Amino acid sequence: MFNLTKRLGGVSLATAIVIGLMGCSGANNNGADSSNSTNANPSPSPAATESFNASIDTKFGQVTIAEEPKRVVALGWGDAETALSLGVQPVGASDWLAFGGDGVGPWLEGAYAEAPTILGTMELDYEKIAALEPDLILDVKSSGDEERYKRLSEIATTVGVPADGDNYLTSTSEQVDMIAKALGKEEEGAALLKQVDDAFAKAAAAYPEFAGKSIVVGAYSSDGFGAYVKGDARVDFMERLGFKNKAEVEQKADGNFYVKVSDEQLDLLDADVTVVMPIWVDPKEITDNKLFQKIPSVVDGRSIILDENTSNAFSTGTIPSLLWTIENLPKQIQAIAKTGA
Spell out the residues 6+ positions from residue 80 whose beta carbon is closer than 8 angstroms to its own. 74, 90, 93, 94, 103, 104, 116, 138
Query: Comparing 36 with 95, which gets the higher pLDDT?
Result: 95
pLDDT of residue 109: 93
Task: Give the whole-angstrom CA distance, residue 329 versus residue 109.
Answer: 20
Q: What does the DSSP 8-state code read for residue 88?
A: B
Q: What does the DSSP 8-state code read for residue 120?
A: -
Q: What does the DSSP 8-state code read for residue 118?
A: E
Closest to 314 measured CA to CA, from 325, 301, 302, 300: 325
Over 50: is that where the pLDDT of 11 sits? no
Closest to 218 measured CA to CA, from 241, 237, 234: 234
pLDDT of residue 266: 97
pLDDT of residue 51: 82
- Angle (nearest 5°) at CA 201 between 200 and 207: 85
The model's pLDDT over 297-334, given as tens digits with 9 standing for 90+, comes to: 999 999 999 999 999 998 999 999 999 999 999 999 99
What would the mean pLDDT of 178-195 be, rounded to a whole number? 98
Over 80: is that where the pLDDT of 235 sits? yes
The model's pLDDT over 110-126, given as tens digits with 9 standing for 90+, comes to: 999 999 999 999 999 99
Q: How far is CA 181 from CA 74, 102, 187, 188, in A?
A: 15, 24, 9, 10
Report DSSP letters for 201-246, one per residue. HHHHHH-GGGTT-EEEEEEEETTEEEEE-BTBHHHHHHHHTT-EE-
* pTM of the predicted structure, to 2 decimals: 0.81
Over 60: is that where the pLDDT of 84 sits? yes
Task: Give the whole-angstrom CA distance, residue 204 versus residue 295.
Answer: 27
Closest to 331 measured CA to CA, from 3, 5, 13: 13
Sign of CA dihedral 246, 258, 178, 44: negative
- 73, 89 Cβ separation under 8 angstroms: no
| Band of pLDDT at residue 256, cut at 50, 70 and 90 | confident
When the pLDDT of each residue in the chain is averaged and rounded to a whole number, the result is 87
Three-class SS state of 148: helix
| Band of pLDDT at residue 341, cut at 50, 70 and 90 | very low
Residue-range domains of the chain with CATH: 12-196 (3.40.50.1980), 207-338 (3.40.50.1980)
pLDDT of residue 339: 59
